[in-house]
Copies of this chain bind each other. A is one copy, B any other.
Amino acid sequence: MADTSKPVIGIIGGTGDLGSGLARAWANAGYAVVIGSRSAEKAADAAAQLGAGVRGLTNVGAAEAADIVILAVPFSNHAASIEEIRGAVQGKILVDAAVPLVPPKVSRVQLPEEGSAAQIAQDLLGEGVRVVSAFHNVGAAKLHKGGRADCDVLVFSDDKDARDQVITLAGAVANRGVGGGSLANSAAAEALTSVLIWINRQYKVLGAGIAITGLEDAAQA
């Protein structure tokens, strides 16, 4: 059963590899999760497969039902998905996990003119939405197996409270959420994704990620 003291999480692109992996992990951690897709039927089928009380709706339906909305779509659908849910997410937290990969050279860093996908999202959504950027470098394989990703999650936002809420969410799907500063700093995590894709290929691994070292010395961490 979902814990009603926790925020309801809606996942746009929730039938995708990352979206469905995140849905499974948060549902297992006691969150009410609604996955969205362009097709309500496809979303309902995927939700039934996930179990754990996960519901499936259209993307707009999932955004409307959620307190915190996760955007887990390919960059090619990024702007269109934001336009679709813009009305439904006003006043909420939108967590952008999109990475601005430019096929075919996805292992080469090619950041957009705006600086980052997260900045594009904030520009499109306006000041009524608190945009957070996170989950770019989470490998979904371990999530699908019922575990947590073996990495830290860098969390960026210009809003401290929104950043802190997503740091908490990150702790349920990976080793730890770590604040990384303002939304502009999302460029670092987005760029790292291409580096990690390169590392996966070069070192013949499936889910290279990052961890932040040196935090064990923190007076308060």
Contact = CB atoms under 8 A, between A and B. Distances in A.
Contacts of A221: 203, 205
Scoring A188, A203, A204, A219 by chain B CB atoms within 10 A of each residue's CB, the highest score goes to A188
Given A109-B185, A187-B111, A199 B213 contact: no
B218 A204 contact: yes
A195 interface: yes
Contacts of A109: 115, 181, 184-185, 187-188
Given A180-B195, A199-B180, A212-B199, A185 B217 contact: no
A179 interface: yes
Copy tally for this chain in the complex stands at 2
Contacts of A208: 212-215
B181 A213 contact: no
Interface string A159-192: 0000000000000000000111110110111011
Interface string A105-121: 00111110001000000
Contact of A187 (B191, B211, B219): B191
A191 B196 CA distance: 15
A140 to B, nearest CB: 13
A189 B220 CA distance: 26
A220 B204 contact: yes
B108 A214 contact: no
A202 interface: yes
Interface of A: 107-111, 115, 139, 150-151, 154, 178-182, 184-185, 187-189, 191-192, 194-196, 198-199, 202-215, 217-221
19 contacts: A107-B181, A108-B182, A108-B185, A109-B187, A109-B188, A179-B202, A180-B199, A181-B202, A189-B195, A199-B212, A203-B215, A203-B218, A203-B220, A204-B220, A205-B215, A205-B218, A206-B217, A209-B213, A211-B212
